[in-house]
Amino acid sequence: MHLQCAKVGCLKTTKVSLAEPVELPAPCTEKHFNGYDAQTFELYLTLVGTLRDRRSALGLSQEDLTAAMGIADGYVNKLESIARVAAFPMLQLWAQTLGLSITTTPAPLPPATTRAIEARESRPYQPNQARYKHAY
């Protein structure tokens, strides 16, 4: 049996024999941060560093930025010190308040996505397979 790491973005697995009952090992020995795999979290840290540097370059204190964003006192400090991990809408607000925009660029697909695409080719997607059918 293969156990996959439960951390977000981590694709590591470990093989466990079912022949003998044993205590299950951790599926991954890789480094993780705040529940994310190290590579994903490094990208997040780079983004936070860019936002922090921009705030500083504009001559704003954390308190100034908190007020401009309209969020709770001290929250920018928690975000910049990585005491909190921002969800995307907060990252977007943070960047926009500093006169920045977050953009995406094409990148190589991870192996797990490639496998999902290959598996999907053998059984094409049907609209009734959607889990959430919310109207926007």
Could you report the per-residue pLDDT of 80-114, keeping only the tens digit for each? 999 999 999 999 999 999 999 999 999 999 887 88
The H or E element spanning position 29 is: none
Structure tokens at 16: 């466990």
CATH architecture of 38-97: Orthogonal Bundle (1.10)
Within 10 angstroms of residue 21's Cβ, the number of other Cβ atoms is 7
- According to the model, what pLDDT value does residue 126 have? 74
Rounded CA separation 71/69 (Å): 6
Rounded CA separation 101/96 (Å): 6
Per-domain residue ranges for the chain? 1-30, 38-97
* This prediction's pTM: 0.69
Phi and psi of 124, rounded to 5°?
A: -55, 150
